[in-house]
Chain A
């Protein structure tokens, strides 16, 4: 009886783990898609000439360009101290 209960418990844990994996998979898929989109925007053209401009455009469109949150959408469109410093530096 105890063994059956353990197996049922284990089964339920595996199911919950599978459901978490499914969620993570969807999240990774969305991130990959976003990354592809941003990379194509960033490197479309000659990077040495257009990289800076593309970064600025990405920032103006509402994405972070600092190393900490790169490509993450800026919350509520608020500016980021480190993105601005990054743009100024170049």
Chain B
């Protein structure tokens, strides 16, 4: 291999793919980044066998080649190379060493055996379902708030992609205390091959996609083959294993009745909760992040108190249908939901002081976040 490319372009791509490098010290080859020339491009790939990321850098290819560099060292070194400098990458095939040359300087890195690098999977798969890039970023943000970090139940650590044959794709996540559901109308032509499907995509995969997907990208889509899903972005291909588990029957937990429904200004409510959260930092776990909401006449009263520190009481004007009620929540859950609603006003439907409440944008019914209250002793 003998190629040259620009430091800033190489660095951007290396930083992106290195996020798929394995952090578990199982197979040393998984700590590497595969560099491979194809046509006028240098392809970079990394995988931990659950997630794989591939991208390409436009380069001047003097002679083709393939090698696996130690990922973390390569990423850090490339980052600190002179900005926008022309970088020459050569391979000493006899010693399996990578030689980076810039100006009068060089770095030599011992490489792994490229033949041991695992196949990433069907990266060339055609897009089966196309989504609008900007909207997709928003969708993933909205559902990622409900993803659990408890890996003992993998089904809760991902987002359900569910298609039931009506041109509506559902994205659902739950950590058992809250549930986020986003419905997205999709282009009929893109789902013509499917009657229905459902699979769970790891939350980590969607987080990486959201890092790499730009709102002005000109396309975004995915295809699924067996237990793998391939996301295509203009600059990146991301392949991920789906989670091999059944998602719970989430429709059974959606409340059927509402005892009170309010509309409130999203920003005003969010700012009030941020203040109340400061006085909800109780050390006792069962009272940590606890705030009380009182719906009285046409006001929402937000209250929280912290032993030996103080008490906060705020009133916000609302429009209301139904009866007055008192209810307590984990303030973090309310804040997470309000941050991804992105509409001027929020609707909150409450079905009792110990039943789940639904938060959704006043305009449109494509998103809801179901949150369980905290029962007061």
Q: A76-B286, A76-B288 are in contact. Are A89 and B252 (CB under 8 A)?
A: yes
On chain B, the number of residues with a Cβ less than 8 Å from chain A's Cβ atoms is: 23
Interface residues of B (CB under 8 A from A): 153, 155-156, 174, 176-179, 248, 252-253, 285-286, 288, 330, 354-356, 370, 372-375
Q: How far is the CA of A82 from the CA of B153 in the complex (A)?
A: 13
Interface residue? A3 (CB, 8 A): no
Number of residue pairs A-B, CB distance < 8 angstroms: 45
Give the distance to chain A from B350, nearest Cβ to Cβ, in Å. 15
Give the distance to chain B from A7, nearest Cβ to Cβ, in Å. 22
Give the distance to chain B from A69, nearest Cβ to Cβ, in Å. 7
Cβ of B178: which chain A residues have Cβ within 8 Å of it? 81
Cβ of B286: which chain A residues have Cβ within 8 Å of it? 76-77
Q: How far is the CA of A78 from the CA of B176 in the complex (A)?
A: 9
* B174: nearest chain-A partner, CB-CB: A81
Q: Report yes or no: B288 in contact with A82, Cβ–Cβ below 8 A.
A: no
Q: Report yes or no: A76 in contact with B285, Cβ–Cβ below 8 A.
A: yes
| Interface pairs (6), CB distance under 8 Å | A68-B153, A79-B177, A81-B356, A81-B370, A81-B372, A82-B248
Q: How far is the CA of A82 from the CA of B142 in the complex (A)?
A: 21
On chain A, the number of residues with a Cβ less than 8 Å from chain B's Cβ atoms is: 13
Interface residue? A1 (CB, 8 A): no
Q: Report yes or no: A81 in contact with B153, Cβ–Cβ below 8 A.
A: no
Cβ of A71: which chain B residues have Cβ within 8 Å of it? none
Interface residues of A (CB under 8 A from B): 66, 68-69, 76-82, 84-85, 89
Q: Report yes or no: B285 in contact with A81, Cβ–Cβ below 8 A.
A: no
Q: Report yes or no: B248 in contact with A68, Cβ–Cβ below 8 A.
A: yes
Q: How far is the CA of A68 from the CA of B354 in the complex (A)?
A: 21
Give the distance to chain A from B44, nearest Cβ to Cβ, in Å. 34
Cβ of A84: which chain B residues have Cβ within 8 Å of it? 253, 355-356, 372
Q: Identify the interface centre among B253, B354, B372: most chain A CB within 10 Å of its CB.
A: B253
Q: Report yes or no: A81 in contact with B288, Cβ–Cβ below 8 A.
A: no
Cβ of B355: which chain A residues have Cβ within 8 Å of it? 84
Cβ of B174: which chain A residues have Cβ within 8 Å of it? 81
* A69: nearest chain-B partner, CB-CB: B153
